[in-house]
């Protein structure tokens, strides 16, 4: 069986499991703690399916599906994510919860700590069941993922729009790190853009992990955003990896394509330019995409780069 067939069969298996979950009787719920309930105004008791009306499917990922949802008590429109548990799915302990909870839920809760960051998707409710877990998330409207947004604008963005988006994504990445969360999969598909307000939100912590000082050996994320040290050294660290992924993101937004080996070679020599892009933008990209992680700009200093000081 080829890879494509395996993927189709896996998705069919997962979707069948999700349909069974939707039709199954209610089971144990793990509500958001009382203090968070008051802040977020969410139901603290009862099963999610009795408090939310589940609508059409919005999208799907590796082990889960996202559906439109409506909160019954006030009509709030939400996104409801159902995820099937894998046999080796990691758990995490989060303050306020006596038992370990699925890693994705735990990291999303950590990233949502007060004060709440508008650049990070808000978790409203969740529950952990034997073979699956469910998360209820805010659903900004109108919105689309950044990949669709860029395509809608002719496959690339002007610098002003890209700068506005990058400023928010960098803020989201820094907040995650400060709260002990390494998202590990910042990419166009995991960023929602409100076309009316140009607000950006980071979503999907499914590839994430807790921050640690000594780095990581196994990469979990999207291959094209993977930094070179993963294959060269077999070890990578959270902040330089995040900077690399942000550099790829910016390159693709303003250039409309993934950097070639020739591009990356010029970037490593800090001699890369592109017609139509400002010198500051080219320098910003080059400061992120250095093959040596120690030569990359620091995540905490990205927002101070000259590119962000340019007057619109």
CATH number at residue 69: 3.30.200.20
Q: What is the pTM of this model?
A: 0.86
| Of 177, 182, 174, 164, nearest in space to 253 by CA | 164
Last residue of a domain, one of 79, 107, 138: 138
pLDDT in tens, 185-219: 999 999 999 999 999 999 999 999 999 989 999 99
pLDDT in tens, 204-258: 999 999 999 899 999 999 999 999 999 999 999 999 999 999 999 999 999 999 9
Q: Could you tell me if 105 and 206 lie in one domain?
A: no
List the domain range (segments joined by +) for residue 91: 47-138
Burial class of residue 280 in the structure, from the number of CB atoms within 10 Å of its CB (0-12 exposed, 13-18 middle, 19+ buried): middle
Question: Which residue in the list 125, 128, 185, 204 is annotated as catalytic?
Answer: 185
The answer to whether residue 291 sits within a structural domain is: yes
Q: Could you tell me if 206 and 268 lie in one domain?
A: yes
pLDDT in tens, 128-146: 998 999 999 999 999 999 9
The answer to whether residue 300 sits within a structural domain is: yes
Q: Could you tell me if 160 and 107 lie in one domain?
A: no
Last residue of a domain, one of 79, 108, 138: 138
pLDDT for residue 95: 87
Asked whether the beta carbons of 288 and 247 are under 8 A apart, the reply is yes
Q: Could you tell me if 69 and 179 lie in one domain?
A: no
Q: Could you tell me if 254 and 158 lie in one domain?
A: yes
Q: Could you tell me if 177 and 297 lie in one domain?
A: yes
pLDDT in tens, 85-129: 988 899 999 988 888 999 999 999 999 999 999 999 999 999 999
Confidence of residue 15 (pLDDT cuts 50, 70, 90): low
Residue reference for tokens 């990291």:
107
Residue 257: CB partners within 8 Å, gap ≥ 6? none
pLDDT for residue 13: 41
Active site annotation includes 185 = yes
The pair of three-digit structure tokens given for residue 279, joined into one six-digit string: 């010198």
Q: Could you tell me if 126 and 161 lie in one domain?
A: no
Give the Cα separation of 21 and 285 in Å (integer).
Answer: 45
Q: Could you tell me if 73 and 165 lie in one domain?
A: no
């Amino acid at each position: 069986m080829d890879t494509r067939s395996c993927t189709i069969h896996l998705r069919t298996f997962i979707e069948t499991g999700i349909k069974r979950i939707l039709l199954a009787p209610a089971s144990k719920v793990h509500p958001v703690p009382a203090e968070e309930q008051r802040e977020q105004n969410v139901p603290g008791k009862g099963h999610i399916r009795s408090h939310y009306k589940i609508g059409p499917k919005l999208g799907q990922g590796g082990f889960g599906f996202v559906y439109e949802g409506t909160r019954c008590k006030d009509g709030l429109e939400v996104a409801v994510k159902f995820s099937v548990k894998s046999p080796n799915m990691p758990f995490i302990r989060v303050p306020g919860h006596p038992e370990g909870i699925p890693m994705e839920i735990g990291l999303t809760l950590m990233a949502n700590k007060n004060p709440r960051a508008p650049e990070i998707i808000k978790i409203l409710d969740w529950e952990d069941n034997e073979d699956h877990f469910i998360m209820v998330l805010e659903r900004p409207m109108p919105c689309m993922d950044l990949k669709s947004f860029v395509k809608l604008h002719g496959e690339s963005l002007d610098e002003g729009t890209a700068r506005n988006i990058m400023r928010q994504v960098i803020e989201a990445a820094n907040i995650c790190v400060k709260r002990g969360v390494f998202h590990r999969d910042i990419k166009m598909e995991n960023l929602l853009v409100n076309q009316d307000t140009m607000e950006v939100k980071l979503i999907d912590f499914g590839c994430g992990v807790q921050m640690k000082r000594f780095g990581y050996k196994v990469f979990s994320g999207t291959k094209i955003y993977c930094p070179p040290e993963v294959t060269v050294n077999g070890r990578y660290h959270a902040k330089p990896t995040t900077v690399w992924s942000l550099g790829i993101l910016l390159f693709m937004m303003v250039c409309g394509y993934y950097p070639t080996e020739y591009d990356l070679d010029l970037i490593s020599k800090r001699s890369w330019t592109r017609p139509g892009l400002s010198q500051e933008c080219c320098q910003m990209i080059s400061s992120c995409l250095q093959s040596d992680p120690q030569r990359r700009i620091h995540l905490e200093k990205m927002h101070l780069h000259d590119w962000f000081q340019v007057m619109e």
